[in-house]
Structures are given as C-alpha cells and as structure tokens.
Structure 1
Amino acid sequence: MESNEPTNELDVLIKRSFLSLSKKQLTIRSEDISYEGKRLVFSSVKAIRYGILQIYVNGIKANRIFVIELMDDREDKLKINFQSAMLFKVNKKIDKLYFDIIDVLWQNVTKRLVNQFIDELESGRSVSVGKVEVTPGGIQMQVIRWFKKEEHFLEWGNIRKSMGLGHLHLYSNENKKIKCRINLQKVWNAVVLSSVLDYLWKDGRVYRLAEKHIEQSG
C-alpha cells in the first residue's frame, strides 16, 4: 500500500530530452542534493527558482521545458532541466517527475526559506525578491511606464496577487497602472515569495503584522 505522507528523499534517472542518449541520476536526501556531478547541502541553500516553459510551433503545443535551480551561500548553483516533447497533449509521466521533485524540495528547502522570510517580517525587517521589497507594512515595487522607472509603495490593503503563465502578478487595488510581474522561473525566490504572501493573507495575518510593526515603530 502506497503512503501519502510527504517524503524528503528521491532517487530518479532523468533523460534531459528525447535526443539524449543517456539518463542522469538525481539523488535527493534530507541533507543534500546531487545531480550531474554537483552537490549542494540543503542547509546552505539560500535561493530556489523553478518553472515550466511551454513551447509552441505554428500555434501548436510542441514541447515543455522544465527548469529547477538552487543556489547556496557561495553562489554555487545546481540546475535540473528536462523536456517533454509530445504534440497536442501533456506527457503525464514527465509532469509527475517535475512535481515530485518540487514536492521533495519543498520539504527540504522551500519550506525553510518561506519560514525565514516570515520570521524576518515578523521581526520588523524587510525581504527582497527581484525588484520587489516586502516590508511589514506593505510592498515596495518598481514599475516601468513609458520607459521610465517608478517606485511605488503599496500598503497591504491596496494589494492584489494572482498567478498565471509562469508569473507572480502584484497589483494596486486603487490604481490599475501600478502593477508588476515576477517570473517564477527566472527570479530567485519568487516561488518563496508567492507562498509567503499566501500565508500572510490567510486569516488576516498580514494586517496583524502591519499593526505590530506600527506599534513597534511608535
């Protein structure tokens, strides 16, 4: 009988593309990850990014490229990428492989980074992801309009979040022109930020965080 309990280990052979002649061993343990001769210790990993790129040929879904990347305190990186080339349909086996890796990395890396971000905010400090700075009182974002960079600070009550096409989207409720999008595959810890925001917006936590910050500042 299979267990539905989350696991923090994985051993799998990965064929990077249909043209590859051999498979590469990916080994994930609770302490580290090894792939293509590289090894990173999870306790030293400071950033993660991942995503799926859908390729179209003449308007037809032709390929999907899966990319997962980790970076440690010394800026050493470990990258896992593979493809799924099936016309008109999803390769469920390759999709499952990708999400299995993401789930295991959540247990070993992403969850810890999410908790670190939350601890920083609850301690009154800010965290940055790409060109977005998250503070206890709201979000500072850079918006490009007419080739000009503008800085905007949005309080929590004036922010909306959505996900789509591999991006995290942040909007102002009051001014639709104030918005930004963060590429989950290219921007380090964008996936972490998305989970942090989901946590903060649940049960009004974000407003309690802002009130606590105001009290501490006063």
Structure 2
Amino acid sequence: MFTLERGGILITPNYEERALEIVQQVAPQRAISFVCDDFKIEDAKEVIAEAYKAEETTKTLILGAKSFTIPAQNALLKILEEPPRNIVFVLMAPNKSTFLPTIRSRLTLHVEKEIKEYEKLDISLRQLDLNGLFTWVKANDRLKKHEAKELIERLFHHAVYSEGLVLNTSQLEGFEKAYRLIELNSRFQSVLVMVLMNFLKEAPRGR
C-alpha cells in the first residue's frame, strides 16, 4: 500500500499534477519536486545531493517523468535502498515498465486506476498485410521513447478492445518484449515491425 509517509512508486499519467498535490499534502513539511520529461543521470545526481542535506524533519523528494534512463536509475539504487535520515522518496511515471526490476524491488508500488480514452488507430490488425504493416511503421518510426511506449500501449488496447482480438502467446510476448527493447533504446521501427508481424495472420475472434 502506497502512503506518503513511507513513499514508494506511484504509476500515474498525471505525474505533474500529482507532484503539486503531494507538495501541498505534506505541508508544512518540505517537499522538493524533480519533474521532467526524461529523467537523466544529471537529474539523479541532483536528487542525491539534495537527499544528503541534513534535515530535522521529514523531507519528501518527488521524482516524476515520462521516462527514467537506465544510468539514472542505477545511480539511485543505493540511496533508495538506504535513504538518509528523514528522507522519503516518491517516484512517479505513467507506466510500470518505466522502472527497472531492481528499482521496483526497493520500493512499494501503487498503480492509480484511471479509465483511459484512446484515440482510434488507423490500422486493422485483423486484416493486416505486409503493405499495410510497412506503411504504418513508416508513419510512426520517429517517436521519442515515451511516445513509443505510449503507442505500444495504445496498439495493445486497440487489438483487445477496439478489434476484439484474443491474443495468442506470441502476440502477448511481443508487446512485453517491445517495452524492454524501447527502454534499451532499440530502433523503434524494428520494435514495431516485431510486434506487428505477429498479426499478419488473423487472430482468433473474441466471443
């Protein structure tokens, strides 16, 4: 269970708004926000420096971003495992897959429930052919990391809810692998081809 007193990981699409809310909730105690689009090693060093400033009362450090680089997460591992006295960490991102397993193992994790509304994608996975596959990949191959993850999430939602497909093991594993490859900075064009290749044959229809 996530509580502000103990901190942890909060998965929320509204991390910027939530950061402001947390600052207000913990007042009059101090809370410092480190919110950006892409949390990098430089940001991690700034957080660590702030964490080691002596505090007489609890200070909450809020780290929020669409993506956290692997070097930044590795730099935070030790201080998250053994935080300085009176320091509480709250890490926020839109997707659980943003964080390395080593980070998730050190902090409690809470996913905020939200009914997302996705714009309809201009692709039919049920009738996908090679020409349609490569046309769609070409139209979506220049995305930033967080945009690439979001498109994979939308594609999964489109397959299951918009087209009513029952995904087989290969298709499910393709989506899961895509998140890992994007985090490792793999070329998104190749990642998207990998996911879509699993749909060239019609998936079983939902009941």
Q: What TM-score results when the alignment is normalised by the length of structure 1?
A: 0.26
Question: Quick check: which one's helix share is greater?
Answer: 2
Question: Quick check: which one's strand share is greater?
Answer: 1
Q: What TM-score results when the alignment is normalised by the length of structure 2?
A: 0.27
